[in-house]
């Protein structure tokens, strides 16, 4: 089953203790779609400027991502510049230039309107809502958000959440949205807004998934070398959603495995700048790392 993803494509300039990378391929929809493409076909709806390098277009094409929904508009591509702290735990945005992205209000192509799996990356919740209204009968709607929308557009975000099956956010965002420090309480508060499941991304501390009748926690896969955490959350969501769309069926067991796949995909992306590492791996590498991950978290439940 294919996934429709709507979000940003950006040119990032990122500084980490390991170096500075200029105008590298970034954006939520980028990380999501490359990651998901290892599991399921991806239809990408996004916008770039005429300055967008053709070598980056080739990257999407190489991963067989459907680009009929990609608008190339006269002007400059969305740009994000940021710097990470020495321990990589803090990121400071130096500049955000929306450029052509500021007019992004996509009409979904007819052939995309039948999409069953939809991922709305961390864009304006009004835009998420507008896009979703064009999709005919989705089976699974997932959405992400960011602190900016929680602060500036809480009402629209909360309204939109009613239509969401899986709502992704990170620990800081969950606390910000609810005023609850305890993440389990925060997740349960968010469930009251209407989404069926909450997935809270906790970075090096793993992730948790909460619905009205289940809770699941997963540690992260510990790496000794982390070069650039940019895109980890979207890569996680991409792996997770890609696996779900591949399975077609959604149940607790499949969702739990999907979280494990998402975790594993995120480990690849942080091992190098931008998508460098992610573009080198194969399904064989994913399977292998998943086995390693299982070994890292497994204990014998059945003979306690």
Can you list the pairs that 172-176 forms with residues at least 24 positions away whose Cβ atoms lie under 8 Å? 172/147, 173/145, 173/146, 173/147, 174/198, 174/200, 176/147, 176/150, 176/151
**From the CB of 47, what's the least distance to its own copies, in Å?**
37
* Between 140 and 290, CB nearer to its own copies: 290
* Between 152 and 292, CB nearer to its own copies: 292
* Between 75 and 206, CB nearer to its own copies: 206
* Between 205 and 276, CB nearer to its own copies: 205
* Between 152 and 252, CB nearer to its own copies: 252
* Contacts with its own copies, residue ranges (CB under 8 A): 86-87, 89, 181-185, 188, 202, 204-206, 208, 215-220, 222-224, 226, 253, 256-257, 259-260, 287, 290-291, 294, 296-301, 304
**From the CB of 21, what's the least distance to its own copies, in Å?**
21
* Between 94 and 184, CB nearer to its own copies: 184
DSSP codes joined into one string, 171-203: HHHHHHHH--SSHHHHHHHHHTTS-SEEEEE-G
Give, in order, the Cα–Cα distances in Å from 272 to each of 239, 267, 276.
18, 10, 6
**From the CB of 64, what's the least distance to its own copies, in Å?**
24
* DSSP conformation class of 139: S
**From the CB of 296, what's the least distance to its own copies, in Å?**
5
Helices 252-269/28-36 angle, 10° precision: 120
Distance of CA 204 to the CA centre of its chain: 16
Supply 213's token pair: 């009748």
**From the CB of 107, what's the least distance to its own copies, in Å?**
39
Question: Is the distance from CB of 24 to CB of 14 less than 8 angstroms?
Answer: yes
CA atoms within 13 A on the CB side of 197: 22
Q: Which residues lie below 8 Å from residue 40, measured CB to CB, with a gap of 6+? A: 1, 2, 3, 117, 241, 242, 243, 245, 246
**From the CB of 216, what's the least distance to its own copies, in Å?**
6
* Between 154 and 182, CB nearer to its own copies: 182
- Using left for φ > 0, alpha for ψ between -120 and 50, and beta otherwise, residue 105 falls in beta
**From the CB of 122, what's the least distance to its own copies, in Å?**
24
């Amino acid at each position: 089953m294919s996934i429709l993803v709507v979000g940003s494509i950006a040119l990032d300039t990122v500084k980490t203790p390991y170096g500075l990378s200029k105008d590298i391929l970034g954006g939520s929809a980028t990380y999501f779609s490359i990651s998901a493409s290892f599991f399921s076909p991806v239809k990408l709806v996004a916008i770039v400027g005429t300055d967008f390098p053709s070598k980056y277009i080739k990257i999407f094409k190489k991963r067989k991502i459907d680009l009929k929904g990609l608008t190339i508009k006269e002007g400059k591509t969305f740009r994000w510049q940021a710097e990470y702290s020495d321990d990589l735990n803090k990121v400071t945005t130096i500049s955000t230039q929306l450029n052509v992205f500021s007019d992004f209000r996509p009409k979904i192509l007819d052939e995309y309107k039948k999409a069953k799996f939809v991922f709305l990356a961390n864009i304006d919740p009004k835009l998420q809502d507008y896009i979703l209204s064009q999709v005919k009968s989705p089976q699974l709607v997932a959405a992400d958000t960011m602190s900016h929308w929680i602060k500036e557009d809480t009402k629209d975000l909360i309204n939109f959440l009613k239509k969401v099956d899986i709502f992704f956010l990170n620990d800081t965002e969950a606390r910000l949205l609810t005023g609850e420090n305890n993440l389990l309480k925060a997740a349960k508060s968010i469930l009251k807004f209407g989404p069926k499941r909450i997935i809270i991304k906790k970075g090096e501390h793993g992730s948790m998934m909460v619905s009205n009748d289940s809770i699941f926690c997963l540690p992260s896969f510990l790496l000794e070398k982390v070069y650039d955490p940019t895109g980890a959350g979207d890569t996680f969501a991409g792996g997770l959603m890609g696996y779900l769309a591949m399975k077609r069926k959604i149940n607790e067991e499949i969702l739990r495995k999907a979280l494990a796949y998402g975790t594993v995909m995120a480990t690849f992306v942080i091992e190098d700048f931008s998508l460098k590492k992610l573009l080198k791996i194969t399904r064989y590498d994913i399977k292998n790392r998943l086995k390693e991950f299982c070994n890292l978290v497994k204990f014998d439940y059945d003979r306690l």
